[in-house]
Chains A and B, each alone.
Chain A
Amino acid sequence: MNTTELERVAREIRLRDLQAVFEAGAGHIGGEMSVIDILTALYFRVLNVWPDQPKHPDRDRFVLSKGHTACALYVTLAKRGFIPEEEISTFLQPHSRLNGHPNCNKVPGVETNTGPLGHGLPVAIGMAKAAKLSGAKYHTYVVTGDGEMQEGSNWEAIMAAAQFKLDNLTLVIDHNRFQQGAALAETNDLAPLRPKLEAFDWEVTEINGNNMSEVVSALEYRGSRPHCIVAHTNKGHGISFMQDRVDWHHKVPSKEQYEIALAELSEAL
């Protein structure tokens, strides 16, 4: 899929995500809007995956470590054919397999359970290491939030990735500069991320994570070391009144706000 087509798909995913969160009355819409371009590029351009064989041994692995943005992943998986598109309307409903954080035993395409922060990168490192041990050619991608990088387990994992020489691993940090209750800068400011990753012998690319052509080329890059993409994004990207506002971490739009957001996201479709 080319960049223009990917941008259109990303818009559609944003729209469906907005509807799902509005209808469910819950969700993590800010972080979903910031990460959707990355998810779109992965599932519609970069990942070698087969929706009819979700456990195919040669599939590329993707881990959404920022599991609270599960709704964006569900919409993406549905659009890519892993689950029925109409199932999105069950998001957060009783007994739906689409709960607030993704479950690998229930939802095809989900590789490991996430939710508590700081879990995805260690698991992704295990996946990449397994490929090294078995000679498998798949690539492993993981997306973390920037606030999530405050978890110590991530830094344990960052050390291991370099030690294991995992050139088959790509970490994308969704650097939207906000965590649940505050700006990153107001809690434990990890920025700038680049020198810290480089100090651990990772290769680092910094991009505008809401610019599709930059996202695609960074994800497709292959080097000789573990690769970190610091994706500078906007929390609430695509919806004017949400952008860069900490209060949209898990706020639900009012009916009026919903109509405005719908109009804005529909504009370019």
Chain B
Amino acid sequence: MNAPINAPKLYDCRDAFATTLERLAAENETIVAVCNDSVGSSKLGGFKAKFGERLVNVGIAEQNMVGVAAGLANGGRLPFVCAAAPFLTGRSLEQIKADISYSNANVKLVGISSGMAYGELGPTHHSIEDFAWTRVLPNLPVIAPCDRIETAAAVEWAAAYNGPCFLRLSRVGVPDLLPEGHKFELGKANLLRQGSDVTLIANGTLTHRILKAAEILAERGINARVLNLATVRPIDEDAIIAAAKETGAIVTAEEHSIFGGLGSAVAEVVVDNAPVPMKRIGVPGVYAPTGSAEFLLDEFGMAPSAIADAAQSLIRRK
């Protein structure tokens, strides 16, 4: 169990990504960064300054970017492909399938500014389909870290892992939740709060919100379990089945469509193993109105108080 640390300061996980990548690149000369004119938005400026030759910028050409990364891996390089999540995944989905997942190429796909991070830029720039698109692909772990510590740990893990993966990062600030020194373990949930009345599950930018929701529920006398489920695939079936059996109700919250994402993945495990009432909170199959990421999350029922209300009404169905 990793005890949550409540700190008021918010961190952009891209900084943890960039710092870790630069540290690993200094130790491992095979590491290369591949991007689509996204040096600034991927925070690759430091990497470029230190390892200029190893920054492969293909310009605005995502299909080529992913194919080139597969070829770089074939030639013994260790590519981290950094691009805005909606374009990395959507624009080059077939390349991700055929060249990366099916070929089992040792390429790390890093989708930045995921979810509603580009809130005001509109639905073309929202990445709320990427879990659905990527988690159906074999050989491709799908990971959404919840804070800077888990981001750094996941990047370190990815560099050591022999195979492809998709790391989903935001640019919206999140507080520290996991303790310093936390090691990322593929497919393992972190129990952030023990509880017996209901389980709240999230990842990425939503984890700190469900922790706050659990605090609100505690004030109402409801004891909520909180799981941070960074790995959407392979999913931690044991933690989900235990949550279903021991708490009898599960709420998921995600910066993603409710179709095909984290909630769907959890529901699949619950239905197959231990059916209990569930509520999936996320974007309910619509294109979002204009607004910031924080505004849109609240708009779609992901304010901590709204998550707490949803959990409370779900408990009545147990």
Contact = CB atoms under 8 A, between A and B. Distances in A.
A160 B68 contact: yes
A123 interface: yes
B63 A112 contact: no
A112 B32 contact: no
Which 10 A-B pairs give the minimum distances between C-beta atoms? A126-B71, A130-B75, A122-B67, A156-B64, A156-B61, A126-B68, A153-B63, A127-B71, A123-B71, A126-B72
A128 B76 CA distance: 11
B67 A153 contact: yes
B15 interface: no
B71 A122 contact: yes
Contact of B72 (A105, A121, A129): A129
Interface stretch (B100-108, B140-148, B192-200, B278-286): B100-108
Given A131-B75, A153-B95, A125 B61 contact: no
Interface string B64-78: 101111111111110
B98 A114 contact: yes
Given A119-B98, A134-B76, A126 B70 contact: yes
A114 B71 CA distance: 13
Contacts of A104: 103
Interface of B: 30, 32, 53-54, 56, 58-59, 61, 63-64, 66-77, 79, 94-95, 98-99, 102-105
Interface of A: 57, 61, 103-105, 111-116, 118-119, 121-131, 133-134, 136, 140, 152-153, 156-157, 159-160, 163
Contacts of A131: 75
Contacts of B77: 130, 133-134
B103 A113 contact: yes
Contacts of B76: 57, 130, 134, 136
Contacts of B72: 126-127, 129-130, 133
Given A104-B103, A156-B63, A124 B98 contact: no
Given A118-B63, A153-B63, A160-B68, A134 B75 contact: yes
B108 to A, nearest CB: 14
Contacts, number: 112
Given A157-B64, A160-B59, A125 B71 contact: yes
A136 B102 CA distance: 26
A140 to B, nearest CB: 8
Given A124-B71, A160-B59, 12 more contacts: A111-B74, A112-B103, A122-B95, A130-B71, A130-B76, A130-B77, A133-B54, A153-B63, A153-B64, A153-B95, A156-B58, A156-B61
Contacts of A136: 75-76
A125 B102 contact: no
A117 to B, nearest CB: 10
A129 B68 contact: yes
B74 A125 contact: no
A123 B68 contact: yes
Contacts of B63: 118, 122, 152-153, 156
Contacts of A105: 103-104
A164 to B, nearest CB: 8
